[in-house]
Homo-oligomer: A and B are copies of this chain.
Amino acid sequence: MLLHLSTWPEIEAALARSNAIVVPIGSNEQHGPTGLLGTDWLCPEIIAHEAQKGADLLVAPTFNIGMAQHHLGFPGTISLRPSTFIAAIGDWCRSLALHGFTRIYFLNGHGGNVATIEAAFSELYAEASFAKRPRGFSLKLRNWWDLPGVNALANRQFPTGHGSHATPSEIAVTQWAYPDAIKRADYAPPIAPTGPIREAADFRARYPDGRMGSDPAQATPEKGGELVKLAAEGLVKEVAAFAAEVSPAG
């Protein structure tokens, strides 16, 4: 069930069945010569939308701009500063909590988001801690590739050249969902270099075409479909378990 294609009475009814909601969250940033700029928000959106087709799972609109300051040297990247990102995640969660969503599950598509999302969670929890009261809702962050079995499948699909940015697995996922938007390029070198992540100028100097450690040429729509299927199954189970959790503080 997609929240944005529902009415408020439908959401009211859904809340009577479950207090959990999934928020696909990612980033809009360069993904090398052939990866789509939307890759990191499209992947969790694709997986979550697929998952809700076969389960009573409520999916919020996609949080499509994240923390991608290091990619700003490449055209098309849009980034929030961490402080802005924290504020925005806060307002999303506060809004959802008002309606009775007590389990808010972020399905993330961008490694660079993780620290700031966790900091945003702490900022939200701290409001309750400083007020000496229970928060009333729980937050969970999961990268889609960390869903049960997904990393293992990607390692089998791409034993070398998976890398950490513009990876063949994420590109495969978007190829499966957007076959008309598959791009081709010659990669030089075939496997991109690796190293640390700092500001945008340093990043572009280290990683001239935007990839980090990856060989995206291995991506195929079929492999993407396998990843989506497995991730969607894992998501449904994880959210069900999360929804069933009991907080000792009420």
Contact = CB atoms under 8 A, between A and B. Distances in A.
A36 interface: yes
Interface in A159-192: 178, 181, 183, 185
Nearest to A122: B82
Interface stretch (A46-54, A68-76, A150-158, A223-231): A68-76
A67 B3 contact: no
A33 B46 CA distance: 28
A94 B65 CA distance: 13
A83 B84 contact: no
Oligomer: number of copies: 6
B130 A69 contact: yes
Contacts of A198: 125, 135, 138-139, 247, 249
Given A4-B37, A114-B115, 8 more contacts: A5-B178, A8-B30, A69-B125, A76-B99, A84-B90, A129-B200, A135-B199, A202-B249
Lowest 6 CB-CB distances: which A-B pairs, in order? A4-B38, A115-B118, A205-B248, A129-B200, A11-B76, A69-B126
Interface of A: 3-12, 15, 28, 30-38, 41-42, 60-65, 67, 69-70, 72-84, 86-88, 90-92, 94-96, 98-100, 112, 114-116, 118-120, 122-123, 125-126, 128-130, 132-135, 138-139, 178, 181, 183, 185, 196, 198-202, 204-206, 210, 247-249
